[in-house]
């Protein structure tokens, strides 16, 4: 079945550091890919998305590129802030799976001042 | 717009007790979902409702039942709670559209502890 694998956390960085959170997936066909963010005590919010190969999703300084050849959708940000501290989830929506999302296990990110 | 609302925010149950988690959305979405979030396991789909009047099992449906009361409301019931159901429960909604374009909107969650 479809699956998503994220890099193990937690990840701790200093403010203004470069961030990469790895995400790889297994799915048939061309799934849509998403990054969701969960701030402390809140539900998940969509951060960015990409629906076809080579698409780049971007929002709030975060970027991720849909790489079909490596089945990856890594999240990057050039200069993180303390306010970026949250849990980040990579997810896919299969073309065969109605509207259901399959989530990775989440990566907790902490940014120190 | 309130978006997706869930009640209660917190609940403690004893093994064997029953309870219903409530979810409502005001975005006129057709599809609604229930997930559980456990440490190190991401979110797992319990049940979903593609449209009013339909419900389907997700990845982890055992021990749960759902009711799509109307287009706005989708409840999750635990008939006989077990400690393994200790988790954070999230409701979400979306509007089916072009493939891959429909974002799911999440509620704030219900933190459930079963003793």
Q: What is the pLDDT of residues B36-69, one digit of tens each?
A: 999 888 899 999 998 899 999 999 999 999 999 8
Q: Considering only CB atoms, which residues of chain A are within 8 Å of chain B? A: 4, 31-32, 36, 41-46, 49, 51-52, 89, 93, 95, 98-101, 103-106
Position of tokens 């701790």?
A12
Report the 10 Å Cβ neighbour count for A69.
7
A9 pLDDT more than 70:
yes
pLDDT value, residue B99: 52
Q: Which residue has the tokens 């951060």?
A: A47
What residues of chain B lie within 8 A of the CB of A21, using their CB? none
> What are the residues of chain B with a beta carbon less than 8 Å away from any beta carbon of chain A?
4, 31, 33, 40-45, 48, 50, 58, 90, 92, 94, 96, 99-104, 106-109
- Helical (H) or strand (E) element with B19: strand B19-25
What integer pLDDT is reported at residue A1 of this predicted model?
83
Q: Out of A1-15, A73-87, B56-70, B100-114, which region has the weakest mean confidence (pLDDT)?
A: B100-114
Picking from A12, A5, A8, the residue whose alpha carbon sits closest to that of residue A86 is A12
Residues 6+ apart with CB under 8 A from B110: B6, B7, B8, B9, B10, B11, B21, B88, B89, B90
Q: How far is CA A27 from CA A1, A2, A45, in A?
A: 7, 5, 23
Residue among A31, A42, A103 minimizing CB distance to B42 = A103
Whether B48 and A100 lie within 8 Å, measured CB to CB = yes
User: Is the pLDDT confidence value at B97 over 90?
Assistant: no
Please indicate whether, in this complex, the C-beta atoms of A103 and B94 are within 8 angstroms of each other.
no
Instruction: Quote the CA–CA distance of A109 and A112 in Å, as a whole number.
Output: 10
Report residue B98's pLDDT band, with 50, 70 and 90 as the boundaries. low
């Amino acid at each position: 079945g479809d699956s998503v694998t994220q890099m193990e956390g937690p990840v701790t960085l200093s403010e203004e550091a470069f961030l990469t959170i790895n995400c790889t997936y297994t799915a048939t066909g061309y799934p849509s890919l998403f990054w969701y963010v969960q701030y402390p005590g809140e539900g998940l919010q969509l951060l960015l998305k990409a629906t076809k190969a080579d698409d780049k999703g971007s929002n709030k300084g975060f970027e991720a590129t849909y790489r079909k050849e490596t089945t990856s959708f890594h999240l990057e940000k050039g200069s993180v802030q303390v306010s970026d501290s949250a849990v980040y989830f990579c997810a896919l929506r299969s073309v065969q799976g109605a509207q259901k999302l399959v989530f990775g296990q989440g990566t907790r990110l902490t940014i120190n001042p | 717009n309130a978006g997706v609302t869930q009640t209660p925010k917190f609940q403690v149950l004893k093994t064997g007790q029953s309870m219903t988690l409530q979810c409502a959305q005001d975005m006129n979405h057709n599809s609604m979902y229930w997930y559980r979030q456990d440490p190190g396991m991401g979110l797992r789909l319990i049940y979903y409702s593609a449209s009013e009047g339909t419900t389907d099992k997700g990845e982890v449906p055992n021990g749960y039942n759902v009711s799509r009361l109307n287009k706005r409301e989708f409840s999750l019931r635990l008939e006989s709670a077990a400690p393994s159901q200790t988790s954070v429960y999230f409701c979400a909604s979306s509007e089916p559209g072009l493939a891959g374009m429909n974002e799911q909107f999440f509620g704030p969650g219900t933190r459930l502890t079963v003793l």
